Amino acid sequence: MADLSLIAIILAVVYGVALVCVHRILLTYRTAQGAIAWIIGLLGLPYLAVPLFMLFGRNRFSGYVSARRMGDQTLAPLLNQFEQQTAAITSPQQEHLSDELQVLCKLARQPFTAGNHCTLLKDGVATFDALFEAMESAQDYILLEFYIVRSDRVGQRIKSILKRKLAEGVKVWFIYDDIGSAFLSGRYLKELSSAGARIASFGDGNIRRRRFQINFRNHRKLLVCDGTIGFVGGINLGDEYLGTAMDQEPWRDTHCRITGAAVLGLQLAWLEDWNWAANDIPRLNWDAPEPDPDGENVLVLATGPADPYETCTLFFLNCINNARSRIWIASPYFVPDFQVVNALQLAALRGVDVRIIIPEKSDQPLIRLAAYSYLVQASAAGIGIYQYQAGFMHQKVVLVDDRYAAIGTANLDNRSMRLNFEITTLSTGRALVRDVTGMLEEDLTKCRLMTERDYRDRSHLFRLCCRAVRLLAPVL
C-alpha cells in the first residue's frame, strides 16, 4: 500500500505541474498549433513533456522584460529618449518616410537617423579587416557582442588586440552567448578578464532574476567603438568565415560598417543586453554627430522575445507586404511559419519578383530537409527558391525593390522570429541598395533554381522526412 500511495503522490505532482504548464500556455500562447501540440504532450506524456516545456516551452523572456522596464534608473532615461523620438516620426525631419518605414520605427522604438554612412562588407576577410582596424583605432572604449566566439586564429587576434588596447587605457565590455560559445575555453575569458576587460555571458542574468532558458539565445553580432563606428551582420568570431580551411566548405556571409548617429542605436541595443547580463550601466558616449547631408537614413531594429510584439515576424511581413517590384531574401535557415509563407505567396501572385536564397550545404541538416517541404507551395505561386552552390551561405540580407536594404542576424525561421535576440540595420541609402543588389545578383549566379520536382521526384521516405521535420519548425 505504501508503494501505491507513493506512486499516486508522484502521479498527482507530475500531472499537477503539467496542468500548471497548460494554464500558462493558455494565457500566453502565440500560435494555436504550438499550443495544441504542447497541451497534448503535457497531458499524454507529462514525464517527458514537463521537463521539455521547462527548457523550450516558454516564448517570453520575462526576466529581460523586467530588466528593461524596471532596471537601473540610468537606463530608463535613455530608453525614454529614444521612444519619444520615435513617437515624433511625423515631425518635418521624418515626413518623407513612407508608412511602412514609420511602422518599423515604432517596432524598433527608435527613429530613422539621417546622415549615416554604411559600407557593405561582403565576406569574412573584409569584415575582419574592418573590425580589427576599428578596434585598433579605438580611443575610449570597445563594446562587443557575439553569439559565437572561438579561440582559433580569429579569436586569438581579437584577444591580442583587446589586451593591447586595455593596456593603453581603452575600456572593453564583452558579451557572449552561453549556447553559441559553449566551447569557448575558460582560459580565453580569464586572460581577457585579467587584462581588465569586463565580460558577461548573456545567461548571467539568471543569477539576479529568473532562470535563463536555453531556448532563448542572444544571436546578435555587433561591435561599437567609441560610440562613433559600429558593425552588424551575420559574421561571428571564427576562422570558418575566412574560407582558408582545406577540409571545410567556405562560409559566405555579410556584415555592415556604420558611421553616424545610427551607431548610437546599436549602442543602445548593446546596453540593454549588458544591463540584463551584468546589472551594470557603463558611461558611454551619447553625443550624436552632425548628420552628413550626403549620408543615408538608417534604422537599427533590435528584436527579441522580450518585445511586446513579435517584432521580427512583423519586420519580415512588413517588408514582404509592401514590396512593389521585388523582395529578395538571403537566409541560411528557411523554415517560415504560415504567415510568412502566405505573405510570400501573395507578393508573388501580385507580380513581385520573390527570390529566396538558401544554402545547398548546411550546418543544420534538419533545417535543410524542412526547406524542401516548401517547394510545392513556392512553385505554385511563382516564388523562386535558389540554392547557393559555392559553399555554406550564412548571410541574412533583405532587399526591397530599389528602396531599402537590411543586413543583420535574423533568419527566416521561427527561432529568429520568436526566440532569439536579433539585430538588423536597415538603410534607404542608394549606394548601399546598389551594392546589396550587385552582391545578391552575383550570389544568384552561383545558385541553382529549385523546382517542385526537387521534392516530388525524391523517394517517399525523403518526402516523409521533410514533412516530419517541418513539424519541428517551432524548435529548430
405 phi-psi bin (left φ>0, alpha ψ -120 to 50, beta other) = beta
Grid-cell match 536597415, residue found: 426
* 449: CB partners within 8 A, 6+ apart: 384, 385, 386
Residue with grid cell 529549385, as numbered in its chain:
450
Neighbours of 457 (CB within 10 A): 10
The DSSP secondary-structure symbol of 416 reads I
Tell me the sheet residues that pair with 143: 173, 224
Question: Do residues 279 and 202 make contact, with C-beta atoms less than 8 angstroms apart?
Answer: no
122 tagged catalytic:
no
Look up 117 and say whether it is catalytic.
no
Length of the chain: 476
C-beta separation of 318 from 327 below 8 A: no
Q: How far apart are CA 422 and CA 186, in angstroms?
A: 26
460 is catalytic: no
Report the DSSP pairing between strands 420-427 and 217-218.
parallel
State yes or no: is 178 an active-site residue.
Answer: no
Identify whether 190 is a catalytic site residue.
Answer: no
CA–CA dist 417, 399 (Å, integer): 18
Among 205, 223, 255, smallest CA distance to 144 is for: 223
Q: Which of 219, 253, 255, 273 is catalytic?
A: 219
Q: Three-class SS of residue 135? A: helix
CA–CA dist 112, 280 (Å, integer) = 27
- Measured distance CA(304)–CA(424) in Å, rounded: 11
Answer yes or no: 129 catalytic.
no
Residue of 123, 177, 226, 239 marked active site: 226
Phi, psi of 269 (to 5 degrees): -60, -45
Catalytic residue among 239, 394, 413, 443: 394
Given a contact cutoff of 8 angstroms between Cβ atoms, the answer to whether 149 and 184 are in contact is: yes
118 backbone dihedrals φ, ψ, rounded to 5°: -115, 130
List C-alpha distances in Å: 334 to 304, 387, 417. 18, 11, 12
Q: What are the strands, taking DSSP E only, across 133-201?
A: 141-146, 171-176, 198-201
- Among the listed residues 165, 307, 396, 443, the single catalytic one is 396
The answer to whether 391 touches 249, Cβ cutoff 8 Å, is: yes
Which residue is catalytic, options 353, 401, 435, 454? Answer: 401
Place of cell 565580460: 199
Kindly give, in sequence order, each residue whose CB lies less than 8 Å from that of residue 108, ignoring residues fewer than 6 positions away: 86, 265, 299, 300, 301, 302, 311
Number of CB atoms found within 10 A of residue 388's CB: 22
Largest separation between any pair of C-alpha atoms in the chain: 84
Instruction: Point out the residues that are catalytic.
Output: 219, 221, 226, 394, 396, 401
